[in-house]
Chains A and B, each alone.
Chain A
Amino acid sequence: GAVVSQHPSRVICKSGTSVKIECRSLDFQATTMFWYRQFPKQSLMLMATSNEGSKATYEQGVEKDKFLINHASLTLSTLTVTSAHPEDSSFYICSAPGQGHTGELFFGEGSRLTVL
């Protein structure tokens, strides 16, 4: 099956710094990737759709200057949380559709961000 790798799994940073999270499709190409945010014991909230070679599409209410998304290759999308603040602390998960248009998404293991 398709494998999505996400790194780092945990990151702690100081308020005001920027943090980059990587999402890689290991054995398939992904022209589209999705970034979700999840608060404790809550559902996944779609933040943005990452498109290879073009700008990301952000969901309503998500600050594009705060959450920078780059999809520079067919196997890598990055999410950069800029000037992080404690309220940005959360679990960030990426996903990608597998090849074959089955409809299912393959998820990374998630990245837990803690901003002090």
Chain B
Amino acid sequence: SQQGEEDPQALSIQEGENATMNCSYKTSINNLQWYRQNSGRGLVHLILIRSNEREKHSGRLRVTLDTSKKSSSLLITASRAADTASYFCATDDSGGYNKLIFGAGTRLAVHP
């Protein structure tokens, strides 16, 4: 079953703009991860934030986590056309080692 919802479901922006995606979840977690999926391909891990962390950076990516609100956001700065993909959050709900439950995903389109 899916853990939660992501919004927006779809996002269309111009190159150079920032893209923000949000994720909400329902249960307590060990960590929350963000993955990227190009159309028809497998998923690629982007970043992991642990439940005791509030913010994490990796290159042009910035992830925040608010465990009190059970929500996370992914910010991609200075977007590029190559960032066009679907982005999923996934939570490790402590119920099983590495057993991740994925959110609904945000389809990002970055136009040149």
Question: Which residues of A does B touch, CB under 8 Å?
Answer: 4, 6, 32, 34, 36, 41-46, 49, 59-60, 91, 93, 95, 97, 102-110, 112
Q: Which of B30, B45, B96 contacts A105 (CB 8 A)?
A: B45
In this complex, how many residues of chain B approach chain A with their Cβ under 8 Å: the count is 27
Contacts A43-B104, A49-B99, A105-B98 hold; do A6 and B42 have CB atoms under 8 A apart? yes
Q: How far is the CB of B48 from chain A (nearest CB, A)?
A: 5
The reply to whether A104 and B99 contact each other, CB–CB distance below 8 Å, is: no
The reply to whether A44 and B88 contact each other, CB–CB distance below 8 Å, is: yes
Residues of B contacting A107 in the complex (Cβ-Cβ under 8 angstroms): 35, 42-44
Question: Which residues of B does A touch, CB under 8 Å?
Answer: 1-2, 30-31, 33, 35, 40-45, 48, 88, 90, 92, 96-105, 107
CB nearest neighbor in B for A31: B97
CA distance A112 to B39 in the complex (A): 12
Q: Which of B30, B97, B104 contacts A32 (CB 8 A)?
A: B97
CA distance A93 to B44 in the complex (A): 12
The reply to whether B40 and A112 contact each other, CB–CB distance below 8 Å, is: yes
> 5 shortest A-B CB distances, which residue pairs?
A107-B42, A97-B98, A104-B45, A107-B43, A109-B42
Residues of A contacting B100 in the complex (Cβ-Cβ under 8 angstroms): 34, 46, 105
CA distance A41 to B106 in the complex (A): 10
The reply to whether B2 and A45 contact each other, CB–CB distance below 8 Å, is: yes
The reply to whether A103 and B30 contact each other, CB–CB distance below 8 Å, is: yes
CA distance A32 to B88 in the complex (A): 22
CB nearest neighbor in B for A112: B40
Contacts A93-B43, A108-B42, A109-B42 hold; do A46 and B107 have CB atoms under 8 A apart? no
The reply to whether B101 and A46 contact each other, CB–CB distance below 8 Å, is: yes
Residues of B contacting A97 in the complex (Cβ-Cβ under 8 angstroms): 97-98
Residues of A contacting B90 in the complex (Cβ-Cβ under 8 angstroms): 105
